[in-house]
Chains A and B, each alone.
Chain A
Amino acid sequence: MKNAVGREIPDALLTDGREVYQGKQYMDGKYIQKASPRTRRCEKPVDSKVVASLVDALKQCGAKDGMTFSFHHHLRDGDYVVNQVMAAAIEELGLCDLTIAATSLGSAHDPIADYIEQGKVIGIQTSGIRGRMGEVVSAGKLKTPAIIRSHGGRPRAIEAGEVHIDIAFVAAPTSDCMGNCRGIGGKSNCGSLGYAMMDAKYADHVVVVTDCLVDFPNMPASVEAIDVDAVVVVDSIGNPKKIASAAARISQNPRDLMMAENVAKVIASTPYFKDGFSFQTGVGGPSLAANLFLEQYMDERNIKMGWAIGGICGPLVELLKKGKVGKVMDVQDFDLDGVNSINQTPGHYEMSASQYANPANKGAFVNSLDFVVLAALEIDTGFNVNVLTGSDGVLRGAPGGHPDTAAGSKCCIIVTPLTRGRMATVCEHVVTVTTPGDCVDVLVTDYGIAVNPLRPDLIACLDEAGIPHVSIESLKEKAYALVGRPDDLEWEDQVVAILEARDGTILDVVRKIKPVTL
């Protein structure tokens, strides 16, 4: 069945009331029955929940074949915990048919690809999938199709009982002996633990994995001891160098800076750019640099940012310290400036993934967002964005908060170079739709700006400010003139990944790629 973004969804996937994507806000006003968490009572007082090893913790939680383990990705590419836990479960306990439900996965988790090939891991639910894992899943080696969700779609699915977590693993930079966790104070600090909060509340069992045991009580706790079954102390939960970079540097690349300046110009031309406005930006080159130019416009007009959300990094903390933004709500930190500021700088707070982006609660922060500035791997002439699959059809990205912020914000700006190497970023049809075009408002490239025709109000704003813009079709033609028109990718029938829209409908599927051989 074809969905609202023109993608053919196999009928075989439309079971148990699952629908195809119908357009944004389709689920608004509908009721959902929340799953009630099942949990083990720990009524008898204990002195400590620390157990000797991951194996002991797994045994204590009744780990068995077929279970779903959850993880969060605050340790980013420095994470050791996913691999440690899966090795303990598969190699030491001999478990199989396991499903990994993670908030995101990266190239740090390449060893999991082996477990997929061996058939020990049969399900993957995640936002990001990259590296070797992306390759083996794209090659059709995972037993069941991977399920890809946005950061808001995941807490929605957990609440709705579509994901049942048997054991949640919390990678905690610090924990006390009872399981009160924080993202700071240890040797592998990551700052916010926002993505882990939902898992801890809904999982049958919660295991805290830490490399820094601190005195009880470890307060204020991001994940609380009342939800924790066991605490395991390991040598190291991650590589601090890869968890948080020293500082997210603002790009010096003139192309990035030119695009960033144009992003700020577009923002300043809209009626939403007024005192108290709200903002989120990614940490990609041009997105991050937009902060710099935006500050100039804020100074010029003598206005301040009300609040900012998202993955947080240094430049935003800087604005907070200068008093140019009122509050910063933080679901994840990208650099040490962010890590060291959370709950320290007045106005810098931690938030959960549900508070951040869940479309099924009564008002996640994204819903109040004025502007979001985002990147794209591809954007097509229908303004549909792909941030999941490479132009060669292989899984190597993550929707992250992209679809959530795009849908919630009043003005969603995509900033991307027109081409990357021989890849046309602006194209006829994106490989995979991860963010539907009806949520995307403005495209800024190094060859020109295009505004979604669905937003005549924004077109008028740009015209009034004298900002030149062109049709997205002309940008696509320009791109193809530079790099040549690519051949259509060829696919097998087998679906290797299901891409859920944030509301739980099916937005797109990724099929097994048929590689071109000459």
Chain B
Amino acid sequence: MEILKPAMAGTLESSDAQVTVEPGTQGIQLTLSSSVMNQYGRQIRATILETLERLEVKNANVTVVDKGALDCTLKARVECAVFRSADCSQQNIPWGGVIV
């Protein structure tokens, strides 16, 4: 998918993550901060990158402010932000397809 415009999903509440995606040209540029960086920073990064790869996002500036979200939450927030950026979060979401 292509990131067409800046979009955001999630909150800064505990156990959530706020994901912002913006159009980019130089691959995936990820900025990550996390309240559990020392224990889970690498896993959080891997989860975000895998999710973007699954959605076939090749170029984007991605900012994630994580407040101890579980993997399932992180995935959902990334998916939502990407779909919003492409204006296709309102209908025809590919449940059971690329959104597992």
Asked if B41 and A422 sit within 8 Å, CB to CB, the answer is no
Interface: B38 (CB within 8 A):
yes
Q: Which residues of B contact A484 (CB under 8 A)?
A: 40, 43, 70-71
Q: Is B68 interfacial (CB 8 A cutoff)?
A: yes
* Subset of 6 A-B contacts with CB under 8 Å: A392-B35, A422-B15, A423-B39, A486-B40, A515-B37, A516-B38
A393 touches B38 (CB 8 A): yes
In the complex, given contacts A393-B38, A484-B70, A487-B43, what are 15 additional A-B residue pairs having Cβ atoms less than 8 angstroms apart? A391-B36, A391-B39, A392-B36, A421-B36, A421-B67, A421-B68, A422-B36, A422-B68, A422-B69, A483-B70, A486-B36, A487-B40, A487-B42, A515-B38, A518-B41
Classify the secondary structure of A's interface with B. loop
- Residue A482 CB within 8 A of the other chain: yes
Identify which of B30, B36, B43 gathers the most chain A CB atoms within 10 Å of its CB.
Answer: B36
| A489 and B38 contacting across the interface, CB-CB below 8 Å | yes
Distance in Å: Cβ of A396 to nearest Cβ of chain B: 12
Closest partner residue, chain A, to B32 (CB atom): A518
Q: How far is the CA of A500 from the CA of B14 in the complex (A)?
A: 33
Residues of B near A412 (CB, < 8 A) are none
B37–A516 touching, CB < 8 Å = yes
Min CB gap A478→B, angstroms: 14
Residue from the list A422, A482, A515 in contact with B40, Cβ < 8 A: A422
Chain A: minimal CB distance from B94 (Å): 26
Could you say which residues of chain A place their CB within 8 Å of the CB of B14? 421
Interface residues on B, range: 10 to 19
Out of B15, B42, B69, name the residue touching A516 (CB < 8 Å).
B42
Q: Which residues of A contact B39 (CB under 8 A)?
A: 391-392, 423, 486-487, 489
Residues of B within 8 A of A392 (CB): 35-39
For the A-B complex, the count of residue pairs with Cβ-Cβ distances under 8 Å equals 54
- Interface residues in B36-94 by Cβ distance below 8 A to A read 36-43, 45, 67-71
A489 to B39, CA, bound (A): 6
Shortest C-beta distance, B98 to chain A (Å), equals 23
Kindly provide the distance from the CB of A452 to the nearest chain B CB, expressed in whole angstroms: 26
Q: In the complex, what residues of A have CB within 8 A of residue B67's CB? A: 421
A101 is an interface residue with CB less than 8 A from chain B:
no
Q: How far is the CA of A393 from the CA of B32 in the complex (A)?
A: 20
Using CB atoms, name the residue of chain B closest to A484. Answer: B43
A423 and B68 contact, Cβ closer than 8 Å, known pairs A484-B43, A518-B32: yes
Tell me if A513 is interfacial: C-beta within 8 Å of chain B.
yes
Most chain B beta-carbon neighbours within 10 Å: one of A391, A393, A421: A421
| Chain A contacts for B35, CB-based, 8 A | 392, 421
Contact B45 A518 (CB under 8 A): yes
Residues of A within 8 A of B30 (CB): 518
Report A-chain residues with C-beta under 8 Å of the C-beta of B69. Answer: 422
Q: In the complex, how many angstroms separate the beta carbon of A13 from the nearest chain B beta carbon?
A: 25
Residues of A contacting B40 in the complex (Cβ-Cβ under 8 angstroms): 422, 484, 486-487
Q: Which residues of B contact A518 (CB under 8 A)?
A: 30, 32, 37, 41-42, 45
> Do residues A421 and B38 form an inter-chain contact, with CB atoms below 8 A?
no
**Within the assembled complex, what's the spacing in Å between the Cα atoms of A486 and B35?**
13
Minimal beta-carbon separation of A380 from chain B (angstroms)? 15
1/0 contact trace for B1-32 toward A, CB 8 Å?
00000000000001100000000000000101
Within 8 A of B (CB), among A436-488: 482-484, 486-487
Binary CB contact string for chain A from 376 to 401 against chain B (1 if under 8 A, 0 otherwise): 00000000000000011100000000
Asked whether B41 lies within 8 Å of A516 as measured between CB atoms, the reply is yes
User: Once the chains are docked, how many angstroms separate the CA of A422 from the CA of B69?
Assistant: 6
B60 to chain A, nearest CB (A): 17
Closest chain-A Cβ to B65's Cβ sits at a distance in Å of 14
Please indicate the chain B residues that have their CB under 8 angstroms from the CB of A483 in the complex.
70
From B39, which residue of chain A is reached at the shortest CB distance? A486
Chain A residues whose CB sits within 8 angstroms of the CB of B71 once the complex forms: 484
A422–B37 contact, CB under 8 A? no
Question: Which residue of the partner chain A has the closest CB to B41?
Answer: A516
Shortest beta-carbon distance, A409 to chain B, in Å? 32
